[in-house]
Structure 1
Amino acid sequence: MTNLVLAIDDDKLIHHVIEQSLSQNCKLIHAKNGEQGLRLAIKYQPDIILLDVEMPGMSGFEVCERLKGGEHTADIPVMFLSSKGDISERMRGYNAGAADYIVKPFEGSELLARIKVLDDYRRQSVALKQDMQRAQITAEIAMTDSGDMGRIMRYVGQSYHAHDLNTLSEYFLEFFTPLNLEVALAFWYHNQAVFFSQEGAIQPIEQELLETNKDGSRFVDFGRRTIINYPKVSLLIKNMPTDDPALYGRFKDLLPHILEATNAKIKDMEVSEVALNKVEEIGLAFAQLSEQLSCIGEVYGNKVSELEEFVKQDAVKEALGEDYKASMESLCEHFAFVNDEFSIIRYKLGEITQVRQELIQSLNQMAKPWGEEEVPSQTDIELF
């Protein structure tokens, strides 16, 4: 759990609520305004900062922007505390650099739960930061001369061999590294949200923004952020170059191509998963039917044998007479024929079961992710 939390708020009651909620799990530092909070943040380097929005003097948004602009405080996750909960305020908080946003009044248990989420995000981000920096340097060098269409064509080829969301997300996020774009995304898979980020963990406020704007316009611009929506995928760009019209226009023309390809791929994955499940269900139904017929056939065969033995007895022959005996023999032949038909049906069901098993193996083989050595990455080769 978090070691050190800095709470910046001018309301003594809020400080009391925070103390009651977190004192058993965190060491707390309290600041009554933005100026004092900035000094304490630089001095103590807290793990998480809780920041009030409306304060006398410097507002929470201004404090957050200064924190994110500081060399020693830029990576500290900030959670805004505000009495306003509308989406415009949340977007403003996210633009200022916040990782989460909680509306007053709040329960202590809710605050603690969200602090734990932020702490997990912080730990994962720290662990992955160095790896991401090394990967970005390598990717930038390798992709300097690659054209946009070359990247798109390569991604489409990679996505063809991706049959699970984790693999697809790796190829998708890799696409943005040489473009110097920081992104997070959501796959809307079977109406369930699955989130990914270049940092390994997605911030709670990013998740909320993607969910809130899912059914909005194709492009949603706010500050230097842009959300691009497709039915099966939504992309959040954190550093859209709005101050460079040419580059901004290039990205807005380029990115729908990769999103459309991703949207089609996810639809295909959903259909394949449904088909595989249906094959499984049909196979189980055939297996159960085969087992039932096998049991019925066994009982039926035993009864036919008993009847044949009974008819063959001399005493029965004499008692029944020639006409009735002939009828019984004919009936036995009929039962024997039906028993043979049962055997053929069981044999055919066995063949169907075998074909079904081979089909499942084939579908599973198709859905098996390829190894990295079999699919070139965005940094392996250049097309242009």
Structure 2
Amino acid sequence: MFDDSPGDTPTLPLVLLVDDERFTHGLVAEALKGHCELMSAGDGADAVMAIESRLPDLIIMDVEMPGITGLDLCRALRESAATANTPIIFLSGHDEIVDRVAGYSAGGDDYVVKPFSMRELHAKTMNMLESFQLLRETRSTAEFATSTAMTAMSNMGELSVLLEGLKAINTARDFRKIAEAVITAISDFSLQGAVQLRVPGQEITLNCHGEASPVEVAVIAQMVDLDRIFQFGKRLLITYDRVSLLISNLPIDDPDRIGRLRDHLAMLCEGADVRVQAIVSARESKQRGDTIGQTLTDISDALKEIDIAQRNSRMATNMAVSTMSENIGNALLSVALSEAQEDYLTGVIRTGVDSILDTHSSEHTLQDRLSRVIRDLKAACSDEKPGLHGPGLIWSDLFSVDNELLDDDQAP
């Protein structure tokens, strides 16, 4: 191998010259001096060794060399991935059209005839380097655009899975359906794992095959108090108040996808946690409503019994007073009293009877109010509950004698 390099200048493009004539190396070195770093080889074998040590930006090679010819070397380089796109300029003493066609057919990019002009070689070399640098940049941009497009398409697919999963979670009517929706979503992400829902009175833990294994349950139980998102190798655990998700096969060779999946799975878990809490709250609210409804029914029944008892008591009192008045009147007829004494006793008795009747008259008003309370309670216990939704009616009003709604004198 010849050593005609003008020096180590890493910032300059590297050109490999393959030629068995030392004189040619001197001319090429002079033509490219100050613009390229030159690496020299005397034959095809030396060229292969040089390329293995440092990959050149451009290759200039003679067509006729001892051993492997330039055309055969060019074909071999084009079959190698490392040099498949490296620009190659042939140097040849043959200027026939058939020779040029052979060079281009072997994979050459340009053809310079010996003896050559150093200015021409310099111009062709620099233009070739500039063109291929632009081509590499274009390819790099295209590859980046393709990669970005593929990533965007992949992300759109993942977002579609996430939205479908959240939709299924939001429409789930029970806890097991929520767990199944989460499992379906992670399966659509091409992942495997288990989800656990912690709800009052039970824990629901499922994996992609049904009920979770004891190992999965134990892992979730041991790690439930760790950070909200905890990754260990290819495993990932996401924990919320009522929901935990364990993933067992993260694509560790694709960090970008792992980052997206962490975000998607966290949103999936948060949606499941919110839905679980909503169902728990709805069930607790229904239970409280049922308790209140039963209490209202019991109060209504008790007040009805009190109402009936008080009305019966009033009727009995009225009858007793009437009977007493009649008996006293008959008794006075059989007693020898002066007119003044009879008038006095009659006045005393009448005053007492009137007092009793006045008291019962006041109780009659209260009784009618109690009847209205019973009617409102019955309405409150019914399906439509008009008593609870009527204007100005609150729970304390049902037991207040000052309630405007209790001024109706009609019995129930």
- The TM-score, its normalising length taken from structure 2, stands at 0.49
Q: 3-state SS of the aligned residue for 2:249?
A: coil
2:283 equivalent in structure 1 = 273
| RMSD (Å), alpha carbons | 2.6
Partners of 1:283 and 1:356 within 8 A in 2: no
1:115 aligned partner: none
Letter in 1 for 2:355: S
Tell me, in whole angstroms, the C-alpha distance in 1 between the residues paired with 2:354 and 2:205. Answer: 77
Contact 2:172 2:178 in 1 (8 A): yes
Report the equivalent of 2:268.
Answer: 258
> Is residue 195 of structure 1 aligned with residue 223 of structure 2?
no
Shift of 1:293: 1.1
The aligned residue for residue 173 of structure 2 is: 163
User: Is 1:346 equivalent to 2:374 in the alignment?
Assistant: yes
- Once the two structures are TM-superposed, the CA of residue 146 in structure 1 deviates from its matched residue by 6.1
Aligned match of 1:290? 300
2:161 aligned with 1:151: yes
Shift of 1:352: 0.7
Distance across 1 between alignment mates of 2:382 and 2:161: 43
Question: Is the CA contact 2:194–2:245 (under 8 Å) kept in the aligned structure 1?
Answer: yes
Q: Letter of the aligned partner of 1:282 in structure 2?
A: I
Aligned-residue sequence identity (percent) comes to 20
Residue 326 (structure 2) pairs with residue 315 (structure 1): yes
Measured after TM superposition, the shift of residue 178 of structure 1 is: 2.0
Equivalent residue in structure 2 for 1:208, among 218, 235, 248:
218
Residue 230 of structure 1 corresponds to 240
> Number of matched residues?
217
Aligned-pair distance for 1:191?
Answer: 7.7
State the 1:174 CA deviation: 1.3
CA contact (8 A) 2:195 2:246 kept: yes
Structural mapping, 1:24-173, within 5 Å? 147-173=157-183
Which runs of no fewer than 5 residues in structure 1 stay unpaired? 1-142, 359-384
Picking from 361, 378, 397, the partner of 1:333 is: 361
Shift of 1:329: 1.5
Residue by residue over 1:30-63, the C-alpha shift from the partner in whole angstroms, topping out at 9 and shown as x without a partner, is: xxxxxxxxxxxxxxxxxxxxxxxxxxxxxxxxxx
Q: Distance in 2 between matches of 1:295 and 1:356?
A: 24
Q: Which has the higher contact order (CA 8 A, sep 6+)?
A: 1
Partner Cα distance (2:328, 2:261) in 1: 95
| Whole-angstrom CA distance in 2 between matches of 1:356 and 1:203 | 48
Deviation at 1:339, TM superposition (A): 2.2
Instruction: Judge which range, 329-338 or 198-207, deviates more.
Output: 329-338
Alpha-carbon contact 2:176-2:204 (below 8 Å) kept: no
1:183 alignment partner in structure 2:
193
Residues 1:299 and 2:327 are matched in the alignment: no
For the residue of structure 1 that corresponds to 2:211, the secondary structure is: coil
On the 8 A contact 1:317/1:325 being kept in 2, the answer is no
Specify the code of the residue in structure 2 equivalent to 1:274: E
CA displacement at 1:354 relative to structure 2: 0.9
* Residue 237 of structure 1, CA deviation: 0.7
Distance in 2 (alpha carbons) for counterparts of 1:151 and 1:272: 28
CA contact (8 A) 1:311 1:317 kept: no
Structure-2 residue corresponding to 1:44: none
Distance, in Å, in 1 between the alignment partners of 2:284 and 2:385 is 17
In 2 relative to 1, CA 212–145 (structure 1 residues): closer, same or farther, beyond 3 Å?
closer
The DSSP-based 3-state class of the residue aligned with 2:382 is helix
Helix, strand or coil at the partner of 1:193: strand
Secondary structure of the equivalent of 1:265? helix
Alpha-carbon distance in 2 for matches of 1:198, 1:284? 43
Aligned structure 1 segments of 4 or more residues deviating by more than 4 angstroms: 143-146, 355-358
Deviations, residues 69-117 of structure 1 (Å, cap 9, x unaligned): xxxxxxxxxxxxxxxxxxxxxxxxxxxxxxxxxxxxxxxxxxxxxxxxx
In structure 2, list runs of 5 or more residues that go unmatched: 1-152, 330-345, 387-412
Distance 1:253 1:161, change over 3 A: closer
Q: Which has the larger radius of gyration?
A: 2
